[in-house]
Every structure is written in C-alpha cells, then in structure tokens.
Amino acid sequence: NAGVTQTPKFQVLKTGQSMTLQCAQDMNHEYMSWYRQDPGMGLRLIHYSVGAGITDQGEVPNGYNVSRSTTEDFPLRLLSAAPSQTSVYFCASRLTGTGLYEQYFGPGTRLTVT
Amino acid sequence: GESVGLHLPTLSVQEGDNSIINCAYSNSASDYFIWYKQESGKGPQFIIDIRSNMDKRQGQRVTVLLNKTVKHLSLQIAATQPGDSAVYFCAEIRARLGGYNKLIFGAGTRLAVHP
C-alpha cells in the first residue's frame, strides 16, 4: 500500500491563480480530510468527506472547494489564491465507525502564494 | 472559544530521561483524545489514543494520562531517544450533533532530545 499520497510536494502561486492539490489513498478509507498547518496554529480542518459524494466544511473552509467522486481521491481546489493561504496542506484518511479514529496523513504540500 | 492547547512550546531533555508533554483542553464534552508525532517534513503520525472513560493508557515506551477533573492530558515517553525528537500534538474528538466527529488539534510542542 502506498498509503496517503499528495501532489505536488511544493507549489508557488501568484495571487489570484487557481490550482488543485491532489490527494489519494489506497486503503479503502471512507473518511478523508484536508488540514492546513501554520506556525503556532497546529492543524486546522478545512474540509472533510465521509464517503464518495459527501463533503462538509471544517473550521476554515473559505477559499477552498472539495469534491469526492471516488473513494480514493479527494482533491482540494483553491479558487483564487491569496497570500493568507500560504501554508502546508495535509490530507488524511481513516476508516469510519465507532472507535475508528486513527488517521493516516500524507506527506504534505507546501504552498506559497506571492 | 473552545480549543485544545499545550502548556510548553519547547521541551528539551537528555537522552535516556523520561519526557512529559502536557496538553489542556477546554471542551468537557470531548470523549476521545489522540497524541500525534510529527517529524520535520512529514505528516503527523498516530502515537496513542485514550477515551474519556479511561485515566491511563500505555503503549510501547509511551503512556497517556487523562485528568478529566482539570481537563488535562499528558504524554509520557520513557527513556527518550534521539529519534523521539519531533513536534507532538494532542487532538480531541468533538462530536457534532447530527454530523460526524471532527478531530481538533492543539498548537503542538517541540521535543528536543540532547545526547
């Protein structure tokens, strides 16, 4: 198993540009989520999905869109990049069900918006 | 607002000593807590978890203690090794009415192990 994979590892965008951060997992996990990590802020939940076709907002959803057309993939779209979106982005997945909370994280995407 | 946070941003220990990383939480309704380890340039890695109906749980060289009275969580690492150097996060599960549980992370604390 590759686990959770993310592409790209690094990205630089200009303000106003759009892009999609890719996330895929091969563990057949129902639950997938996106976090951003900023210095001194820990990880904050952006969006999450409990299965194909189902998504919901986390703590900081503004400026981001997600979709879940398959169990494996959960892309995160930045519609119009802003410097405030400079961060490290982590995708995570886990099984759903009572007591199944262990999340597996991808290696992260470091995004810089100039 | 409610949050999960950590008392110490940086903890320096000597190799072989025991480490204790502390975390305070404010949501008394949270019923599940997790500790994650994050090494430089990598995603967080699950270490150990504990339910609110427990006071203590032990893993390999790690122990998590939960004090619900004062809403405090700690991670103890025995015989700390250089490979333990990382940032450690506590996280809580907050149940959402009519929705799915979300994992809320604290700010993190850095553990530096010196030879």
pLDDT tens readout for residues B44-59? 999 999 999 999 999 9
Q: Are residues B105 and A96, on separate chains, in Cβ contact within 8 Å? A: no
Sheet holding B4-6, edge to edge: B4-6, B19-25, B72-77, B62-67, B56-58
CA-angle at A72, arms to A71 and A74, nearest 5°: 90
Measure CA of the first residue to CA of the last residue in chain B; give whole Å: 40
The predicted pLDDT at position B9 comes to 82
User: What b/e sequence results for A14-39 when a residue is b if at least 16 CB atoms lie within 10 Å of its CB, and e otherwise?
Assistant: eeeeeeebebbbeeebbbbbbbbbee
For residue B104, give the nearest of B83, B65, B73, B77 by alpha carbon.
B73
Could you list the pLDDT tens digit for every one of the 114 residues in chain A? 779 999 999 999 999 999 999 999 999 999 999 999 987 678 899 999 999 999 999 889 999 999 999 999 999 999 999 999 999 999 999 887 666 678 899 999 999 999
Amino acid at B28: S
B102 to A45: CB separation less than 8 angstroms, yes or no: yes
Q: Where does residue B106 rank: exposed (0-12), middle (13-18), buried (19+ CB within 10 A)? A: buried
- Where residue B25 falls among pLDDT bands split at 50, 70, 90? confident
Dist. CA B36–CA B19, nearest whole Å: 15
Q: Which residues of A touch B102 (CB under 8 A)?
A: 45, 48, 58
pLDDT band at B84 (very low <50, low <70, confident <90, very high): very high
pLDDT at B93: 84
Q: What is the pLDDT of residue B44?
A: 92
Contact B43 A105 (CB under 8 A): yes
Q: Which chain B residues contact residue A44 at CB under 8 A?
A: 105
* Min Cα separation A106/chain B (Å): 6
Percent of chain B with pLDDT over 90: 63
Question: What is residue B8's predicted lDDT score, i.e. its pLDDT?
Answer: 47
Look up tokens 């999450």; give the residue. A48
pLDDT band, residue B6 (cuts 50/70/90): very low
Inter-chain contact A102–B101, Cβ cutoff 8 Å?
no
Q: Look at phi and psi of residue A16 and say left if phi exceeds 0, alpha if psi is from -120 to 50, else beta.
A: left
Q: How far is CA B25 from CA A104, B71, B106, B107, in A?
A: 23, 6, 9, 11
Asked whether the beta carbons of B107 and B25 are under 8 A apart, the reply is no
